[in-house]
Chain A
Amino acid sequence: MATIADIRDLRAYYITDAYGVRRTVRAVDGISLAIRRNEIYGIAGESGCGKSTLLKILLGTITPPLTVVGGSVTYTFDGMPVDMLSLSEDELRAMRWKEISYVPQGSMHVLNPVRRIRDTFRDFIGAHVRTSPRETDEMVRAYLRDLGLPDKVLGSFPHQLSGGMRQRVTIALATILSPKLILADEPTTALDVVVQRGVIQLLQEIRERERNTMVVVTHDMGVHANLTDRVAVLYAGQLVEEADTRTLFAQPRHPYTQHLIRSLPKIDDKSERVSIPGRPPALDNPPSGCRFHTRCPFAMEVCKNEVPALEQIAPSHRVACFLVSERRAEASPPAIELQA
């Protein structure tokens, strides 16, 4: 399985030192994962778990106060591995949008409100590829049509389009130059449910056509279930579980993953649902040992003192939890059910 991005023990902190106050927010604190070619890789986690920071690093937009303090990020686009962290700003810029592109949360901020969509596309494509405006227009029109967007979108201003349409245009903008890796940050949040479905289907279609790779960051487990091939669950800056989607939903092993899945309501099911009390820790002062131990219903003594390592418990399933590693000795899996 070819790897397109290889992250090893990445640590990235926000370090601020202003007016005598020094603060270190450990947003990404030792994350290792590999993204395979042509897969849709999901990153799940709640606010403040570090997923947006991880995306920023993948995109190469590392500006103070964000600093990478350790680890490596290696991209392999055309067979040649490239150490992303050592690239210059110019090289990064060339890489962005041609090899890697980004679909941000809140599409309104990406599209220039005072320019028509057609002009935004022209500016954008013209900056990367040498074509005439007419060729650009043709290319754009054909692409939008393929994606199911009506022609008149081109002549509109962003505010004239609905939220869902804007998001789709943003996705078109991010993918028209056929980048090899697409990073999407909460692409469906704040969208209506029908539009959300359209966006998810659009992303799937693009992956089919272009055979590219996608990383989708969202806290919505329903989106992961319907879109991704594999999912990584982040908590407080660390990777706690990673598996292919089917396995993750069928047999989540980490208590946090179980909580995430179990707390979602399903239609046709009115049984009581419970959330775990407490909230994710502040990243400038994380708990000792396993960061989830303060909220974990199964916390043991060891969990308070040591950080569990990420262990491979199945060919495509990694978990960082003492429960799992302790129980490996036993034959049976931990008795944790999905329903409350």
Chain B
Amino acid sequence: MTVLRDLLRFSPSFRWGAMFLLVVLVLAALSFVAPYGPTERRVVPNNRPPSATYLLGTTTLGQDVFWLMTYAVRNTLIIAGLAVLIGRSIAILLGSFAGYVGGLTDRVLSALTDTFIVIPRLPLLILISFILRGNLSFVSIAVLIGLLDWAWPSKRYRSQILSLREEEFTQTAVFSGMGRLKIILREHLPFLIPFALADMVSGFLFAIGFEITLAVLGLSDLSTPTIGTMIYWATYYQSLLARRWWWFGAPIAISILIVVAFYLISTTLSTFLDPRTRLKNIAVKAGA
């Protein structure tokens, strides 16, 4: 992990990103030691602004915003993580397979992928959520988002594999007696990993966005605290009009923090790993 150590030492952007991420993760971790349960109400006086006792104030329902946030962050991260895992796994499997095998298999899978791409995701999610409203747990939201997020990435993985297949070392592997699956896993996948990491980060952030959007529209599991549902309830109880900024401000701020954290980390990481950008434009002191 010398990569991380070097980044921490030399890249201020990475340090900021890492710090923000740490804040987010600490918040999520704190949820396990919260004095109140996630769905408890009227445990504190309501509508109090931020103060020493209530760090981020309280909601109209008598919940401590700070502790509510810890649950919200944890749940949103879980939903997004699950969604990305499901979605990208399908994408890598289908994309790699289609790309390497080619022929009829590729054409069938590509046709399937194209169908999924064409489907407008948000309206579909809204429709499904609306129909299933009331029966939606937050796990099923994650699965839903994931199942609709594999199509575009699978095309990208496919095209990566297509070009890798033409590389000479693929031929070397073939003549070393390696079977197709082994070649995809051992030869090609390592090239996909940097790409997949960046791809997953973007998928992760996208999934958070979806979760928030669904919740804000009221189409999620509203009893579970997530960043999205907090905003929903805050709007429901008109905190905007009543100038109770702490209730909707906290989740919005934290979601911005998450996006910025991941952005900084992923860009500095990829800049660091790319040998060209490491050496370019480093002006040198003459006579050294």
Q: In the complex, are there CB atoms of A and B closer than 8 Å?
A: yes
Which residues of A come within 8 Å of B, CB atoms?
Answer: 15-20, 24, 64-65, 67, 69
Asked if A64 and B6 sit within 8 Å, CB to CB, the answer is no
What B residues does A65 contact at CB under 8 A? 279, 282, 284
Q: For the complex, what is the distance from the CA of A4 to the CA of B111, rounded to whole Å?
A: 66
Asked if B272 and A19 sit within 8 Å, CB to CB, the answer is yes
Q: For the complex, what is the distance from the CA of A140 to the CA of B281, rounded to whole Å?
A: 38
Consensus secondary structure, chain A interface:
strand
Beta-carbon nearest neighbor of B287 in chain A: A69
Evaluate whether A67 and B286 lie within 8 angstroms (CB atoms) in the complex, with A18-B278, A18-B279 already known: yes
Q: B7-32: which residues lie under 8 A (CB-CB) from chain A? A: 7, 9-10
Q: For the complex, what is the distance from the CA of A290 to the CA of B288, rounded to whole Å?
A: 23
What B residues does A67 contact at CB under 8 A? 284, 286, 288
CB distance from B107 to the nearest CB of A (A): 29
Beta-carbon nearest neighbor of B11 in chain A: A19
Q: Can you list 17 A-B contacts (CB < 8 A)?
A: A15-B284, A16-B282, A16-B284, A17-B282, A18-B278, A19-B6, A19-B10, A19-B272, A20-B6, A20-B10, A64-B280, A64-B283, A65-B279, A65-B284, A67-B286, A69-B286, A69-B287
What 16 additional pairs, Cβ within 8 angstroms, besides A20-B10, A69-B288? A15-B284, A16-B279, A17-B282, A18-B279, A18-B282, A19-B6, A19-B7, A19-B9, A19-B10, A19-B272, A19-B278, A24-B288, A64-B282, A64-B283, A65-B279, A65-B284
Q: For the complex, what is the distance from the CA of A67 to the CA of B287, rounded to whole Å?
A: 9
Instruction: Count contacts on B: residues with CB < 8 A to the other chain.
Output: 15
What B residues does A69 contact at CB under 8 A? 286-288
Asked if A17 and B9 sit within 8 Å, CB to CB, the answer is no
CB distance from A103 to the nearest CB of B (A): 25
Asked if A20 and B282 sit within 8 Å, CB to CB, the answer is no
CB distance from A56 to the nearest CB of B (A): 15
Beta-carbon nearest neighbor of B286 in chain A: A67
CB distance from A138 to the nearest CB of B (A): 42
Asked if A64 and B278 sit within 8 Å, CB to CB, the answer is no
Q: For the complex, what is the distance from the CA of A87 to the CA of B101, rounded to whole Å?
A: 58
Q: Give 1 or 0 for each of B159-175: 1 = CB within 8 Å of chain A CB.
A: 00000000000000000
Question: Which of the residues A15, A18, A20 comes within 8 Å of B288, measured between beta carbons?
Answer: A15
CB distance from A316 to the nearest CB of B (A): 35
Q: For the complex, what is the distance from the CA of A147 to the CA of B61, rounded to whole Å?
A: 88
CB distance from A145 to the nearest CB of B (A): 40
CB distance from B30 to the nearest CB of A (A): 34
Beta-carbon nearest neighbor of A68 in chain B: B286
Asked if B286 and A20 sit within 8 Å, CB to CB, the answer is no
